[in-house]
Every structure is written in C-alpha cells, then in structure tokens.
Amino acid sequence: MHKNYDVIVAGTGPAGLAIASALGREGLNIVCVDPKANQPWENNTCAWADEIRPLGLDKYCDKIWPQIEIIFGENSSKVLAGAYAHFDNDKLRNALLKDIKEIVVQETVTVAHDGKGSIVTLKNGDKLKSIMVVDATGHAHRLMEKPEKEADSFQNVLGILARVGKHPYSLEHMILMDFRSGFLGKKNHPPTFLYAMPFAPDLAFFEETSLADNPGVPFDLLKERLYQRLEHMKIKILKVEKNEEGALAMNPVVPDLKQRVIGYGLAGGFVHAATGWSVARSLAQSGPAARSIAEGIRAGLLPDAIAEQTYKILWPRELLRMRIIHKRGARCGTPIFPGIPPS
Ligand SMILES: Cc1cc2nc3c(=O)[nH]c(=O)nc-3n(C[C@H](O)[C@H](O)[C@H](O)COP(=O)(O)OP(=O)(O)OC[C@H]3O[C@@H](n4cnc5c(N)ncnc54)[C@H](O)[C@@H]3O)c2cc1C
C-alpha cells in the first residue's frame, strides 16, 4: 500500500525545509524524506541582509554586521554597500519545521511517474505516492535529470569559531575576503583568502577559503595557512569552539526544465557562481514556488504542467541569462546552459 501525498520533498536541508514549509502553509498534504532529517544544520549559514530583510527573516539571525569589508592588500581595502547576516540555524530550522507535519527518516532512491503522479521508492523498500515531487537533496540530486555532467569546481573552506585573546576587528564589520598573502612568501599558490566574522571582542570565526578550484584545494593546506595567517596577525587562539570544513559545489548545472521533478536549492542549481551560496534564494523563492504548485494542484492541472509553470518561476529568462554570465566569469571550462529560448 502506498501512502498518498500532494507533494513529496526529498531533503531537509535549508532548501527542502524552506519549500516544504511554504507548501505546508499552502495547506497541502506533504511529507519530507531525509536520512539526516533529525540532524541539525552544522555549517554557518549567512546571506546578504538585504536579501532576507524583505522576507522578514532577519528575526532568525543571531548577528548582522552593518559593514562588509574586502581587503585586497596591505594598503588597499573596500567597504561594500549593504549588511551581512548570520542565521541562528536552530531558530530558522525550527521555524520552518513548524509548518511540516510529516517527516520520514529515510533515503529516497528512485522515482517513477505515471499520468497522475509519481511513486518515490525509499531505501528500506517503502513507496510513497504523490502528485508532485521536489528534489532538494543537494549535490546528490538523486531524483532529477540534468542535461549535462555537473561541473567540477569546488570552494573548499576550513574554519574555526575560536575564543581569542583579542582580534583586530570592530564588531560592526565582517571581513568577506582578506586576500593578504605576504605571510606566505613565495609559496602563495593556489590563492586563498580569509573570511572572518567577529561575534564578540573575544570570539570570532576565521575561515581560510579557496574561491573555486578543480580539484578543490586540500584541507590540510587550508588549515596550515589559516594558523600561519592568524599567527602572523598576532591572534592568539585560546579555545576552538567549533570546526567547519567543507566543499561548496560552485557550478551546479541548471536542471532540465522540462522534467516532472522540481529541483530545488543546490539540487536545482540555485548556487551563485561567485559566492557558492544558495540559502537566501531557496528561502526567497519558496513562497512563489509553493503557490504555483498549490494552485496547479487545486486547479487539477496535470503534474507535467504544474512542473512547467513552477520552473518558469524558478528559472525566468533573466536568471538563465545571468547564469551564463556567472559561468563565463567563473571560467570553469564547462559548456554554458544550452536550453535558453531565443529572445
Ligand atoms: C562549510 C560550508 C559553509 C557554507 N556557508 C553557506 C552560507 O553561509 N550561505 C549559503 O547560502 N550557503 C552556504 N553554503 C552552501 C550550503 O551548503 C548550501 O547553500 C546549502 O546547504 C544548500 O542547501 P540545500 O538544502 O540545497 O542542500 P543541502 O544543505 O546539501 O541539503 C541536502 C539534504 O538532502 C539530504 N539528502 C541527500 N541525499 C538524499 C536522498 N537520496 N534522499 C533524501 N535526502 C537526501 C541530505 O541529507 C541533506 O540533508 C555552505 C556550504 C559549506 C560546505
């Protein structure tokens, strides 16, 4: 016996919970599926404050810095317009979870479609049935078709949240990128930079970052550089409160926009090619996407038609064009998305 839903959402990362919460608020019968559904989000989650304030999401942030600085060299820096926001992951996650009634702690394995809906098979053999399926499984994008191979370009990062004797930053500004590399002498390749967020006079997050590389810059090298850099800056680490290490997929391909499964978040190619971020976009598009799905279901549209109208909202022509520019800028040597209709 299959359990029946309006929508199955695979993945409960920021993207999965954002769209599932919005679908729940639309009054749809939804289920989320994720083997790690009970685990908190570990990574720092940040966004430009201007992107989340209009959505009223700044109330889920534990810190907003009014100034963002980029340091290019010893005597060269720039303060960017706009503020920078750091989410309290648990607060945001719990707020999104309130709208979600059912979660299955399992892995989705396959999806099969018929005229009226889809059947998702889970790793334990159970099958769930729904009118629509959203794939928000991140880099795995288990249930979706992509028109080309994923581009291999990774932003590798290694960071620490640390108690320090003192740090040189004002609590009013964070350092998006500090490119100074004089402390490395001639051994300054591949290029990396410091990303720093001061939370208190004696507490800051420091992360050595490689913007994009293939293969990604080794974590050992990032760690070595981070500690060298902090020593050079005379920042004394008293206690490491938390470690962060990860690879951000920088160039995920735009999904095939003709398919039934709706790709969302990282799985749906939302990633910004310059920063590697996607959370703000996943949050911002969840309302319009959920409305499109709910209206389609209420109007009795066929699933393919609902997916098509929803993809038009997620990937309007302007965004597809911007994507081309981003990819060219990233120069990762992959073909540009071929499916954009002529204007
Ligand atoms: C160290 C680090 C720091 C980052 N900082 C930021 C930041 O500040 N701001 C930002 O916007 N982005 C940041 N990112 C990028 C960030 O990871 C993504 O933006 C965000 O997590 C993407 O959310 P998502 O829900 O699309 O995918 P994910 O967070 O990857 O979530 C995917 C979920 O799908 C689940 N899943 C996988 N396979 C299956 C399956 N077969 N069935 C069911 N579930 C499955 C996984 O368990 C996971 O819970 C950072 C990434 C890293 C590594």
Please write the tens of the pLDDT for every residue from 183-195: 999 888 999 999 9
Per-residue pLDDT band for 151 (boundaries 50, 70, 90) equals: low
pLDDT computed for residue 265 by the predictor = 97
Fold equal for 3-50+89-150+252-330 and 154-249:
no
Q: Where are the domains of the chain?
A: 3-50+89-150+252-330, 154-249
Average pLDDT, the chain: 92
Q: How far apart are CA 268 and CA 136, in angstroms?
A: 7
Token pair listed for 55: 């959505």
pLDDT computed for residue 331 by the predictor = 57
pLDDT computed for residue 329 by the predictor = 66
pLDDT computed for residue 1 by the predictor = 59
Tens of pLDDT, residue by residue over 121-141, are: 999 999 999 999 999 999 888
User: Which CATH fold topology does 3-50+89-150+252-330 show?
Assistant: FAD/NAD(P)-binding domain (3.50.50)
CA of 13 from ligand 1 middle (Å) equals 5
Closest ligand 1 atom to the C-alpha of 33? Answer: 43
Tens of pLDDT, residue by residue over 38-55, are: 999 999 999 999 999 999
Task: Provide mean pLDDT across the span 113-119.
Answer: 95
CA of 14 from ligand 1 middle (Å) equals 7
Q: What is the DSSP letter of 336?
A: P
Residue 325 CB coordination number (10 Å): 11
CATH architecture entry for 154-249: 2-Layer Sandwich (3.30)
* Dihedral sign computed on CA atoms, order 247, 283, 141, 144: negative
Residue 9 contacts residue 31 (beta carbons within 8 Å): yes
pLDDT computed for residue 187 by the predictor = 87
Q: Map residue 199 onto helix, strand or coil.
A: strand
Per-residue pLDDT band for 225 (boundaries 50, 70, 90) equals: very high
Q: What is the DSSP letter of 254?
A: P
Q: Is 252 in the pocket of ligand 1 (CB under 6 A)?
A: no
pTM: 0.94
Rounded to 5°, angle at Cα 19 from 148 and 47: 80
- Flag the least confident range among 172-181, 251-260, 263-272: 251-260
Q: Is 159 in the pocket of ligand 1 (CB under 6 A)?
A: no
Nearest Cα to Cα of residue 271 among 246, 288, 251, 247: 251
Task: Provide mean pLDDT across the span 194-204.
Answer: 98
Q: Which residue has the higher pLDDT, 139 or 94?
A: 94
Closest ligand 1 atom to the C-alpha of 16? Answer: 25
Q: Is 265 in the pocket of ligand 1 (CB under 6 A)?
A: yes
